[in-house]
A and B are shown apart, each in its own frame.
Chain A
Amino acid sequence: MSTLSALQEILVKEYAIPLERLMPDALLSSLGVDSLGMLELMFKIEDRFNLKIPGDPPTDLATVADVVAYVDSLITGEPGRREP
């Protein structure tokens, strides 16, 4: 399963956000995931992807795609490439 689908699955299941609103460029803050919600999301990402997030996540994760890129960078151990 792609990182995007896995993240969407978490957001649909745990945050009750409709899948059709979870486009890559969707702003998480506009979907009810505020800064504390983002921290909570990281716990769920750690569990789902079997990762350990070092310290706090970057503060500029704004869209679904941002989070996907960040998770991919943790998986591959390489700095994430973000869409401009």
Chain B
Amino acid sequence: MIGRRIAVTGMGVVTPLGNSLAELSANLGAGKSAVRRLAPSLAARLRSPIGAPVDFDATPRFDPPRLRMLDRVSQLALEAAGQAVSHSGIDFRAEDLERCGVFVGSGMGGASTTDEGYQALYAEGSDRIKPYTVLAAMTSAAASWIGIDHGITGPNITFSTACSSSAVAIGEAALRIAGGAADVMIAGGAEAPLTYGVLRAWEAMRTLATENSADPSASCRPFSLNRSGLVLGEGAAFTILEDWNHALARGATIHGELSGYGLTCDAAHITRPTVMGQAGAMRAALRSAGLHPRSIGYINAHGTATVQNDATETEAIKTVFGEDAYRVPISSTKSMHGHLLGAAGALEFIITVLSLREHLVPPTLHLDVPDPACDLDYVAAGPRRVAPFRAAMSNSFAFGGTNAVLIAEGRPT
């Protein structure tokens, strides 16, 4: 990245695979799937009754007056961002707060609030809608609350580019620091799409996986010949990004470096991805990191388990990596945590940093029957212990065509 180096000094997660870094890491290392049959009230009315929910009770976490104003997406975001801040050990009282910012990615914002409002108006025929509906549902609410929580008065922006939203938020936050406009950024994403209205809308697109009746947890099968679509998940993931010297000066622990960010748009079709667009983003990220594909020791794929994505992504990786494409371990952790939409990029970037730190590549679960069109090393057998490697790539693509690729490098020793 041109300009100042970016240190990752904090990470926080609320995910289907656990509500702390330690839990997430343990479940990834154990190759555990959090995909399951949804609660009976939802499942009964769905053709695809599966999802990857988060086990998080907001009641003890927030005062009742505030809780009334928070959609689930903001609750998850505040918890994950709070964890990231604690993890980084930063004391914002000692910072120039206008040089700190909050960048958040979210596809749908307060979806359950919107759903509840429509339920009251249309289904129940009520003329009453909660006075907090606008404040809770607006897509930018989570970012605003994080800013309020930590008193951060610099740039506060919400990025909404569908499934690449939080990768874009992290990449753009890094650019702010690299260019010298900011010193510390809270960057990540949140999504809470497990409501009846949202699930049905996704179902109507024919993009959701069919339930594996023998084992619902095995319903999401990226790169597999018998894949049937994506599984929606909820959660939030946040990083603290920091100017390298700023991090050193305050004695922070540096967990990794964000060294590359590539961004392209397919500008072709609203859902169908292009090899050129995806490959372009990977190339741009490598260029920005100043790395040859040979230096990449792991790719966390977008890997949605849709027919379109997985074959296109495979082709795009081959286009960029050439012969190296067959050498680099690649996995789709969506087989375990589902598709967190606007939060997916941030969660997968954190997983990428963890894999660099622990030299452990998480697997692509349920890949028993590889699709011949997806013939790369998709780490099917289970988590793989590898030799220390220099850099790792995290791919995030999206409906609408905004492709964002992030590159992390290991902590210098």
Contact assessment for B130 and A40 in the assembled complex, using a CB-CB cutoff below 8 Å = yes
Q: Please encode chain A, from 21 to 38, with 1 for each CB lying within 8 Å of some chain B CB and 0 for all others.
A: 000000000011110110
Query: At the interface, yes or no: B92 with Cβ under 8 Å from chain A?
Result: no
15 extra interface residue pairs, beta carbon distance < 8 Å, beyond A17-B64, A32-B64, A36-B132: A15-B64, A15-B65, A16-B63, A31-B65, A32-B63, A32-B65, A32-B66, A33-B65, A36-B131, A37-B68, A37-B131, A39-B131, A40-B68, A40-B130, A40-B131
Q: Which residues of B63-78 have CB atoms within 8 Å of chain A's CB atoms? A: 63-66, 68
B292 within 8 A of A: no
- In the complex formed, the residue of B with least CB distance to A17 is B64
Whether A43 pairs with B64 at a CB distance below 8 angstroms is no
B65 touches A40 (CB 8 A): no
Chain B residues positioned under 8 Å from A40 (CB to CB): 68, 130-132
> Chain B, 132-147, contact with A by CB distance < 8 Å: what is the 0/1 string?
1001000000000000
Instruction: Tell me the B residues contacting A by CB distance below 8 Å.
Output: 63-66, 68, 128, 130-132, 135
A36 to B130, CA, bound (A): 9
Interface positions of A (Cβ within 8 A of B): 15-17, 31-34, 36-37, 39-40, 43
Complex Cα gap A33–B131 (Å):
12
Alpha-carbon distance A45/B65, docked complex (angstroms): 17
Q: How far, in Å, is B400 (CB) from chain A's closest CB?
A: 33
- With the chains together, A36 CA to B135 CA distance in Å? 10
- By secondary structure, the A interface counts as helix
Query: What's the least CB distance linking B141 to chain A, in Å?
Result: 14
| A36-B131 Cα distance, complex, nearest whole Å | 6
- Complex interface: chain B residues within 8 A of A39 (CB): 131
Contact A16 B64 (CB under 8 A): yes
Residues of B within 8 A of A15 (CB): 64-65, 68
Q: What's the least CB distance linking A68 to chain B, in Å?
A: 20
Contact residues in B for A17 (Cβ distance below 8 Å): 64
A16 CA to B130 CA, complexed, in Å: 18
A2 to B68, CA, bound (A): 27
CA distance A5 to B297 in the complex (A): 67
Across the interface, which residues of B come within 8 angstroms of A43, CB to CB? Answer: 128
25 A-B residue contacts at CB 8 Å?
A15-B64, A15-B65, A15-B68, A16-B63, A16-B64, A17-B64, A31-B65, A32-B63, A32-B64, A32-B65, A32-B66, A33-B65, A34-B65, A36-B131, A36-B132, A36-B135, A37-B65, A37-B68, A37-B131, A39-B131, A40-B68, A40-B130, A40-B131, A40-B132, A43-B128
CB-defined contacts of B128 to chain A, threshold 8 Å? 43
Residue of B nearest to A31 (CB): B65
Docked complex Cα distance between A36 and B320 (Å): 54
Bound Cα distance from A17 to B66, whole angstroms: 13
Listed residue (A33, A36, A39) with the most chain B CB atoms within 10 angstroms of its CB: A36
CA distance A33 to B66 in the complex (A): 10
Give every chain B residue within 8 A of A16 (Cβ-Cβ): 63-64
List the A side residues contacting B130 at CB < 8 Å.
Answer: 40
| Nearest CB of chain A from residue B357's CB, rounded to whole Å | 41
CB distance from B101 to the nearest CB of A (A): 27
Residues of B within 8 A of A31 (CB): 65
CB distance from B64 to the nearest CB of A (A): 4
Closest residue to B63 on the A side, CB-wise? A32
Residues of A within 8 A of B65 (CB): 15, 31-34, 37
B68 surroundings in chain A (CB, below 8 A)? 15, 37, 40
CB distance from B135 to the nearest CB of A (A): 8
CA A37 to CA B64, docked complex, whole Å: 11
Could you tell me the distance between the alpha carbons of A29 and B32 in the complex, rounded to whole angstroms? Answer: 47
The answer for the CA separation of A32 and B132 in the assembled complex, in Å, is: 14
- Shortest beta-carbon contacts, A-B, top 3: A32-B65, A16-B64, A36-B131
Chain A residues, Cβ within 8 Å of B131:
36-37, 39-40
Query: Which of B68, B128, B130 has most chain A Cβ within 10 Å?
Result: B68
Residues of B with C-beta under 8 A to A36 = 131-132, 135
Q: How far is the CB of A35 from chain B (nearest CB, A)?
A: 8
Residue of B131, B132, B135 with most chain A CB atoms under a 10 A cut-off: B131
Q: How far is the CA of A33 from the CA of B63 in the complex (A)?
A: 12
Cα-based distance from A75 to B128 in the complex (angstroms): 21
